[in-house]
A and B are shown apart, each in its own frame.
Chain A
Amino acid sequence: MSYEFLVASAIGVLVAGGIFLALRARTFQVVLGLTLISYAVNLFLFASGRLVLARPPIWDKSVSQYTDPLPQALVLTAIVITFGMTAFVVILALRSFLETGSDHVDGDTVPCDAQDGLGDDGESGQP
């Protein structure tokens, strides 16, 4: 099993889990889903400079092969931005839950107790 296959399938599994969670009705699951997607995106960006093993990341005249440093800088920027965004969306979801009494993404005002039954995650009524 090659290194490329491992990274590619890891990204695939993360995206699949992320999309599944992002489509759920509760904000906490959606936040987790978005986090998984952003992990997958960061891995993907990292791999966009090609996967190279045991090479220096900085170009030098004496080496012929090196790791592309640019995707690492891009990933760093993306990590910082998604970290800030995730923190923001967590606080926002919390405020929204406290003010509206519902943690449904569509803002449906179902009382909290009634949400605990199974199966109403995906088919809650329209506001």
Chain B
Amino acid sequence: MTLADHLPILPVAIPALAAPVALLAMRRRRALAVGIAFAAILAQLAVALVLMARVSGGTILAYRLGDWPAPIGIVLVADRLAALMLVLTSVLALIALLHGVVTRADRKGWHFHPLFQFQLMGLNGAFLTGDLFNLFVFFEVLLIASYGLMLHGQGPARLKAGVQYVVVNLVGSSLFLIALGMLYALTGTLNMADMGLRIAAVPAADQVMLRIAGLLLTSVFALKAAVVPLHLWLPRTYAVSTPAVAALFAIMTKVGVYSLVRVVPQVFGEGAGAAAWVPAPWLLPAALVSTVIGFAGVFVARSLSEQAAWAVIGSTGTLLIAVAGWSPESLGAGLYYLVHSTLAGAALFLVADVAARRRGSFGDTASPGPAFAGRGIVALLFMAAAIAATGLPPLSGFIGKLLILASLAGLPDWGWGWSVILGTTFIAVVGFARTGSAVFWKSAEGCETPPAPASRADMIAPALAIAALAALSAGAGVVSAYTDAAAAQVLTPVESAAAVLGEGAE
């Protein structure tokens, strides 16, 4: 084997090695730790791009850990979707880390950089694994790191929200384990590809158990994706997190969506016999309600970061409306929107922080405050982020929503999707206009202008996020062609089963 054959393990191995090294370097030489963190993320980005180039032709790389044959050992599977998520994760991580370092948020505690790397390890592992129990383990890795990152900086507000976040996710992990236990008892395997082949053979007497297991698994992923009615943990957690961390968390809800997209077609797809598409009928109503509630939250939010958190819920709902179509066109459009909405959510959190740093005691509350220094530029950044999050031209949100609407047109329930997406876009426009005019337009009488920050360097990260969104809209043709191909690949699990299980499988 050459080094190129070990490519799929590198996105997990690089942060796993970088984290302890950064921890050791942190005590004596902080600059070295920061350098290690950036180098690790750049290496992950490079590996993700190489992986993407290798799988974009349609090949599926299956990496057998310890060279154990597939259904017995654990496999990592790199296909188009996994590579896309890896590239997205490392781009987002680069932007979030840059903001954390520039705003000195990483200096509030000793463990920011190691935890950040462990978070990336969990995310990359969850995107690559081909084994359900291994998915659980990587979920736990990313959750444990996220608990630490979420509490970074401390303070009563974070601790309060932190207890709720941890308790909710512990219950979610228990449900995940129950679902795994049932699926293992019924099919005798934990490998996703193998389970997809064996699930049709589950006897009729056990179909009820199989349905319960499938729906439990879907509920766990919906909890991670913050789908209504399982969304209540998200707004407070994200609004009180350190902004650089909240920006990285924009991809956490997408992990839930990714797991749904990965597991439902592969395990409960066409070949599942009586249990085919068990979770499908529940997804569209939940997605529609999430979109409405998320953008209603955008409308009534009291601060910019709270608004960004609600926008994350709303955009995840919009994304799931597309996913719930389960056709190659709608899933492809949804994946394009997934990339967009992750970056747009991160941009909103970062801009909220840039504004809060200049408004003194007003923070990012959506009420008229002092006329702070550099208001014009911050207002422009906010406007660009808001345009992206709502889905107005020229940024990629518009293209994403257009693709989703076009792909829904051929499906039976298109009326619901169209009216909810168009209606919530309007609500979001009004909501962002309201907070934007309160923060950037009006001025409160008689309050002192807070001292201007030393530099404008903290605007780099949000500007980079918006530049990435602009690039996404400029390259929409290329990206959407790739996401369409990824969706088609995900919806034909036979190919991936053949790649994972070898030639002998059906």
Contacts and interface: CB of A to CB of B under 8 A. Distances in A.
Contacts of B173: 81-82, 85
A34 B162 contact: no
A8 to B, nearest CB: 13
A52 B159 CA distance: 45
Interface in B87-136: 133
Contacts of A96: 156, 159-160, 162-163
Interface string B190-219: 100000000000000000000000000000
A47 B180 CA distance: 12
A100 B184 contact: no
B31 interface: no
Contacts of B166: 85, 88-89, 92
Contacts of B137: 77, 81
A89 B144 CA distance: 11
Interface of B: 133, 137, 140, 144, 147, 151, 154-156, 159-164, 166-167, 170-171, 173-174, 177-178, 180-182, 184-185, 190
B164 A89 contact: no
Contacts of A123: none
A93 B173 CA distance: 19
Contacts of B181: 41, 44-45, 47-48, 71, 74
Nearest to A84: B144
B402 to A, nearest CB: 41
Contact of B147 (A74, A88, A93): A88
B171 A22 contact: yes
B159 A92 contact: yes
23 contacts: A22-B167, A34-B167, A37-B174, A38-B170, A38-B174, A41-B178, A45-B181, A47-B185, A48-B182, A71-B181, A77-B137, A81-B137, A81-B173, A88-B147, A89-B166, A92-B147, A92-B159, A96-B159, A96-B163, A99-B159, A100-B156, A100-B160, A107-B163
A74 B132 CA distance: 11
Contact of A37 (B160, B162, B171, B190): B171
Contacts of B178: 41, 44
A77 to B, nearest CB: 7
Contacts of A88: 144, 147, 166
A50 interface: yes
Contact of B151 (A41, A48, A49, A92): A92
A107 B155 CA distance: 13
Interface centre among A27, A88, A92 (most CB of B within 10 A): A92
A38 B25 CA distance: 37
Instruction: Assign chain A's interface to a size class.
Output: 20 to 34
A16 interface: no
Nearest to B175: A41
A48 B163 contact: no
A70 interface: yes
Contacts of A85: 140, 144, 166, 170, 173
Interface string A75-111: 0011001101100110011011001100001110000
Contacts of A70: 184, 190
Nearest to A103: B163
Contacts, number: 91
Given A77-B137, A88-B147, A89-B170, A106 B164 contact: yes
Given A41-B181, A71-B184, 16 more contacts: A22-B167, A34-B171, A37-B171, A44-B181, A48-B185, A74-B133, A74-B180, A78-B177, A81-B137, A88-B147, A99-B154, A99-B156, A100-B156, A100-B159, A105-B167, A107-B160
A12 to B, nearest CB: 12
A114 B133 CA distance: 45
Contacts of B164: 105-107
* Of B160, B161, B180, B184, most A-chain CB atoms within 10 Å: B160
A11 to B, nearest CB: 10
A23 B32 CA distance: 46
A102 B88 CA distance: 40
A84 B137 CA distance: 13
Nearest to B164: A105
A49 B182 CA distance: 10
A49 B185 contact: yes
A118 to B, nearest CB: 23
A24 to B, nearest CB: 11
A29 B447 CA distance: 47
Given A48-B182, A77-B137, A105 B170 contact: no
A88 B147 CA distance: 9
B316 to A, nearest CB: 24
A78 B181 CA distance: 11
Nearest to B157: A107
B61 to A, nearest CB: 26
A49 B184 CA distance: 8
B220 to A, nearest CB: 12
Closest 10 CB pairs of A and B: A107-B160, A48-B181, A48-B185, A96-B159, A45-B181, A100-B156, A41-B177, A41-B174, A99-B156, A37-B174
